[in-house]
Structure 1
């Protein structure tokens, strides 16, 4: 009987051992598989994605740590392959997990990829918040610093500022990206960061700098045998050559870009989002050399990518020019309207102020975190001092056996504790009042702004202003009577503005009308149509007005200064 029991016991132990070994083997296999995927992801993301797709059905069998690792790698692969990430809904879980259990690298990757998810969702402020969190977790003084990841984060931040047309912040971030490349002894990375500043100088109108950087980058890439990189830098030079009417060089750059940039396939189809804009420049070239049918093909091809509003804007503008050359008035009118709508949409989407606020918010949060860290250090010092003093008091009490003094100290302690509790209650009450007052203040501000916008919208929808907008888009000049009606409306609706503008005695009639139309948000080209003059004439008069009215040489501030005259 004893022998049978021992035999059964041995069988049970053996079975338990096999179960443990099987569990360890499965766990080990999963971790090895994830490690294999991570090893190939950077160089061969397609292979990594195929492996991840194969393992997706077994995800429920993974441990939590392996499941989080799988999801992190999956998001990495999607980002690497330019897959849309706007439908991802699990990154909050991944971020929370690695916030508690991850190392510095995993925390950084989780924040960076969360930023990429918000990037694809079109939420630039949220994306910036997580990109900044990722940067804050990277210590460039450590030997194992991931300079490559830091460079990626700065690159994404620069893209946001570029899309929001905020060149100052984009330039600042690209300088940081270039510095990271120098710290990592990455000459190619440094040149690529400098190359990206082309868009900064383009927005600032510094075309000499655009030409210089593009030329230097092209020569460097050619020198190291990166013909595709070199070809990809040619589009800015193409635009410069087209403006100079140097069509031989323009055609050379277009041909090289098409043949060697690896951004378009052999049929000319774009391989990556944004590269389809090449057809805007190719169409421009064909218009200028008189090949209108070829130009028509290019701009219609550009309109096949309507997800980017700038494609529509450029496409409509190109078609408007082509039909203008052909003398097809109906088509010109059609595309003038479409171009105006697309242009308005582009302007409406500019949220640079919001991005600036988010950056300021992060800077403030960082200063708050630093203050909290210092406060915690001071608190620890006081704790140590308090413990030391308490030990001395206890030692004296034991030695001298002074019960009375011990009781007195206890009484003082109780009194202090009560005061502390009372103080905390008062502090919480005040904090609650502050929160309520801030909420009320926010409501007041919101209501005030809403009322102001309602009045402005009603004013801008008035019949005479809508008539002027229609004239501006068709090139028709208003009658004398219509000018008087507009002036009466402005005088009645914007009395403060009218009074200030009328106080300038030396201002001429056309100059007065330019100020009036600027306050009503008409563009210089529209004002030129309404006054029956050239856009250059309007620009010259605006330059004169900004000096005469505001004592400034900065013509770019003219619109803002006019609208502040209330």
Structure 2
């Protein structure tokens, strides 16, 4: 079944051939039975064959509708409509086909979309509504191109050329003929249709010789009513009325009313002029029948009205759905707004309660701070007194030491770590700023004064560069690697690698960055 469905995309004949050994009763599963019915109906319609009874496809349509199978429901609607239309129930058929059009919205089944627009184009073409016919044939052409199906593409192009020919618009007609010529056409009927349309255009521009050659070529490929009618016109122009009448007789049975009507008029005129009144009366009767079928059964206004009525009903249904959605959205929005108001009312109440408690805590904290400030003032007075006492004791202790152990040197570590130059560098690192040349000069002066041994060791190590010296001083002054990286404008990893190298340069040892830090801080 799947193989038949795949084959039907490009060759309805092959699909029907695959299924010819089966009947609907061959399948026990209801799903398979309905798919078989749908495929048979689809492909015989594509072959131009009509069904006398719609009971099987109607049952198929009801099955897919009941199971909400959107993939097949639209196709079943379409082919049920085609069957009804071919059996004369045109208005019900059009409503069903329009319903299929609604189901086809957004469908990726390009063959289905082609079939749908092709039949709608044909219905409007037969009823004389060229504008709507052109609209649907163009949609069919777009679907055929999307399906990458050259046979359907050529068929749609020929349909459009026929429509513009009937409307007397040769320039628009020629556009589609030219497009058709660019495609390799394997289907004989469509190739003959393209040649016939080209011949019709040549007759418009009075190139009768070229038109006759094209028509002969078309007749050799496939016999079409339009080909016979145009060939008859050429023979009549050449004075070969017997051959012309023979071809016009064939053309009056064309399903395209414009071809049949034109052939009838040609025959009636000829028979009246030649005194063959009985034959003229017979043709007139045939002409009346064509008019009756065209303008009674396919009344343009009524068919257009059925389509418009269905479109309006679909629009109203869509409007009602949109209105329902909008009302639901408004109700949901109202609930959300109410929830939002209640939530924020509770939140504001909670914030007010929290504010009151925090205000109380703030007032208590302020009172406690005031007490602490009083205590701090007392402590500051006590600290000042103790500092004075420490100064007096230092002066007295200095009498027992030599010059290099003056009181200023006893607290050397704390003094250098808290020196303005060092504190400035810490501040710059905290603000992510690189040290300037002035900052480094100040640090060198500080180190020369307080760390002469370290400076001597660094100056005597020839292989040290300025950046390495800077890093040594910062390590000795307890700067952390992230601060050193900012001040020297280097990455932390580069600082780590540099410390490992300097352990060997300065001390001749192998080890890690922390080993270097330990050694440099002991100098």
Which of the five TM-score ranges fits, normalised by the shorter chain?
0.5 to 0.7
Higher relative contact order (Cα pairs below 8 Å, separated by 6+ residues): 2
1:110 to 1:388, Cα distance in 2 relative to 1, 3 A = farther
- What per-residue deviation string (whole Å, max 9, x for no partner) do you get for residues 398-418 of structure 1? xxxxxxxxxxxxxxxxxxxxx
Report the equivalent of 2:301: 353
Kindly indicate whether the alpha-carbon contact (under 8 Å) linking 2:126 and 2:256 is maintained by their aligned counterparts in 1.
no
Structure 1 position 219 matched with structure 2 position 181: yes
1:166 Cα shift?
0.3
Report the equivalent of 2:470: none
Structure 1 position 288 matched with structure 2 position 249: no
Kindly indicate whether the alpha-carbon contact (under 8 Å) linking 2:203 and 2:211 is maintained by their aligned counterparts in 1.
yes
Task: Give 1:371's match in structure 2, choosing from 305, 313, 319.
Answer: 319
1:94 to 1:281, Cα distance in 2 relative to 1, 3 A = same
1:77-226 → structure 2 map (5 Å cutoff):
77-140=43-106, 145-180=108-143, 193-214=156-177, 216-221=178-183, 224=184
Report the equivalent of 1:72: 38
Structure 1 unpaired stretches of 5+: 1-33, 265-274, 391-566
- What per-residue deviation string (whole Å, max 9, x for no partner) do you get for residues 491-533 of structure 1? xxxxxxxxxxxxxxxxxxxxxxxxxxxxxxxxxxxxxxxxxxx
- Distance, in Å, in 2 between the alignment partners of 1:119 and 1:37 is 26
RMSD after superposition: 3.8
1:276 to 1:196, Cα distance in 2 relative to 1, 3 A = closer
Number of aligned positions between the proteins: 338
- What per-residue deviation string (whole Å, max 9, x for no partner) do you get for residues 39-87 of structure 1? 444455445435544332744x623223222222221232233221232
Report the equivalent of 1:562: none
Kindly indicate whether the alpha-carbon contact (under 8 Å) linking 2:127 and 2:300 is maintained by their aligned counterparts in 1.
yes
1:378 Cα shift?
5.3
Kindly indicate whether the alpha-carbon contact (under 8 Å) linking 2:228 and 2:248 is maintained by their aligned counterparts in 1.
yes
- Distance, in Å, in 1 between the alignment partners of 2:71 and 2:49 is 23
1:289 to 1:106, Cα distance in 2 relative to 1, 3 A = same
Report the equivalent of 1:253: 214
1:106-505 → structure 2 map (5 Å cutoff):
106-140=72-106, 145-180=108-143, 193-214=156-177, 216-221=178-183, 224=184, 228=188, 229-242=190-203, 246-260=207-221, 263-264=222-223, 275-302=224-251, 305=253, 313-323=261-271, 327-331=274-278, 333-334=280-281, 337-338=284-285, 341-342=288-289, 344-345=291-292, 346-377=294-325, 382=331
3-state SS in 1 of match to 2:182: helix
- What per-residue deviation string (whole Å, max 9, x for no partner) do you get for residues 202-253 of structure 1? 3433233324433x135323xx465844542232343344465543122111
Kindly indicate whether the alpha-carbon contact (under 8 Å) linking 1:114 and 1:130 is maintained by their aligned counterparts in 2.
yes
1:208 to 1:375, Cα distance in 2 relative to 1, 3 A = closer
Report the equivalent of 1:483: none
1:196 Cα shift?
2.8
What TM-score, normalized by structure 1, do the two folds share?
0.51
1:188 Cα shift?
7.7
- Distance, in Å, in 1 between the alignment partners of 2:324 and 2:182 is 51
Kindly indicate whether the alpha-carbon contact (under 8 Å) linking 1:313 and 1:339 is maintained by their aligned counterparts in 2.
no
1:92 Cα shift?
2.6
Greater Cα radius of gyration, structure 1 or 2: 2
1:83 to 1:173, Cα distance in 2 relative to 1, 3 A = closer
- Distance, in Å, in 2 between the alignment partners of 1:371 and 1:189 is 35
- Distance, in Å, in 2 between the alignment partners of 1:384 and 1:90 is 49
Structure 2 unpaired stretches of 5+: 340-523
- Distance, in Å, in 1 between the alignment partners of 2:110 and 2:9 is 15
Q: Please, which moves more after superposition, 365-374 or 354-363?
A: 365-374
Task: Give 2:5's match in structure 1, choosing from 35, 38, 45.
Answer: 38
Kindly indicate whether the alpha-carbon contact (under 8 Å) linking 2:154 and 2:180 is maintained by their aligned counterparts in 1.
no
What TM-score, normalized by structure 2, do the two folds share?
0.55
3-state SS in 1 of match to 2:23: helix
Kindly indicate whether the alpha-carbon contact (under 8 Å) linking 1:162 and 1:199 is maintained by their aligned counterparts in 2.
no
Report the equivalent of 1:445: none
